[in-house]
Structure 1
């Protein structure tokens, strides 16, 4: 991957500049779920995909999508190709609890298959780090925030009070991939109402964040497990 790797402060610089200059920026991430979705009939046969524990959980309704889903596969790959900053797991990384074969080795395989070559990368768990850095919240202070997540009421309530005090101007519940098109239409209808959008909705957040930035010219972040950090003090 011939990309520029951004440390935490570099990511914050990018976010701050994009907000100040009112230009589009999408920050998305690749973990085991994204890898599995993209591997369908691309680098793995669907039978192999469906045997993975993550895929079994997805088909029990726990991941906001069901497999096989080749349309979603292609949308995730396309969004990763277009996104401003892509979080990837370093080789040998142990931050996320997933089998090694579902982490960076599989990312390298699917990126090679789809020709995904991000200009800017950072750590895939950047969202967990962001919420623990005071500067992130300072950057968001006074900005109009759009929130899309499954745990809507809890997360919205938490973010509006101490210590975050975010100005959440609009929020929408998102449970599964079937809501993608109507959610993106709704976001476009709100395009002049917000400065930054936060998405905590699993693999769906990759598509939502990249598309939102592209369609509305705003900053959009795949917030991932950051919601758990805020609500429970831990990622899982």
Structure 2
């Protein structure tokens, strides 16, 4: 697999994003962390029984709102495999000193296992926290200004996120938002995205593990840009990330 030193830096990813915006080319950024690894591990490198014993899976099954998915779900697993294989850029954990708050065995070790199992070789890779550094970079937000932005996130954050991003210092033209809380809304949401392909240029997507599929499908079905933005939209509203706030574990000097 790709050594840490060969992963794209945040600035290199941003450059590719800007090129896609300028040339109006389809582009998708998806990200793989411990949650995505556990989805991919279902009945592949882990038995379903073992997967369901993982704390992340137990949390997901406690409430529909926790992780946006109920396990087991091997259909989501297969959709995620397809999305990762076809994404423009894939975020993955570091081998060393990774900032994700999870056990090492659930980070890059497990990514390598599931990628090998499904024969996934990302076209281009970066670190999975690229979204959190993007949130702190003025160049990222400037690249989005003047473009039509679609927001896809949980209903509890959707309105607040839209209001925040329309104001200074972000000044984004948010033309549509879609509330997304659980995997069972995926097909309906994809239909809405396709029906509105002429009403947005870039989608910022914060729907947990479902964001991987949605971001790649935005590029594939609309020719627009889909960005798996992780928890960054929620963190911006909570003032834990953004232009005026730093997100824990994603300092600019950690991910150059």
Q: TM-score range by the shorter chain?
A: over 0.9
Give the secondary structure class of the aligned counterpart of 2:133: helix
- TM, length-normalised to structure 1: 0.97
Q: CA RMSD in A?
A: 1.3
1:91 paired to 2:95? yes
Deviation at 1:2, TM superposition (A): 5.0
Q: Residue in 1 aligned with 2:47?
A: 45
In structure 1, the partner of 2:33 is 31
Aligned partners of 1:92 and 1:13: how far apart in 2?
A: 25
Distance in 1 of aligned mates of 2:37 and 2:52: 13
User: Which range moved further: 225-234 or 15-24?
Assistant: 225-234
Q: Matches of 1:95 and 1:231 in 2, distance apart?
A: 22
**For residues 38 and 239 of structure 2, what CA distance do their matches in structure 1 show?**
27
* Selected match of 2:7 from 1, 5, 9: 5
Tell me the SS of whatever aligns to 1:169. strand
Q: CA deviation at 1:6?
A: 1.3
Moved more, 86-95 or 24-33: 86-95
Equivalent of residue 229 in structure 1, options 226, 235, 243: 235
Unaligned runs of 5+ in 2: 241-246, 249-256
Give the Å deviation of 1:95: 1.0
Distance 2:129 2:22 in 1: 25
The separation in 2 between residues aligned to 1:221 and 1:93, in whole angstroms, is 25
Matched, 1:149 2:153: yes
1:116 corresponds in structure 2 to: 120
Q: Secondary structure at the match of 2:16?
A: helix
Counting matched residue pairs gives 236
What displacement does 1:119 show? 1.4
Q: Which one of 181, 203, 207 corresponds to residue 175 of structure 1?
A: 181
| C-alpha distance after superposition, 1:190-212 (max 9, x if no partner) | 00111100100000000000011
Provide, for residues 170-216 of structure 1, a one-character-per-residue CA deviation record: whole Å limited to 9, x for no partner: 00100000000010000000001111001000000000000111100
For 2:234 and 2:102, the matched residues in 1 are separated by 17
Matched, 1:197 2:203: yes
How does the TM-score come out when normalised to structure 2? 0.89
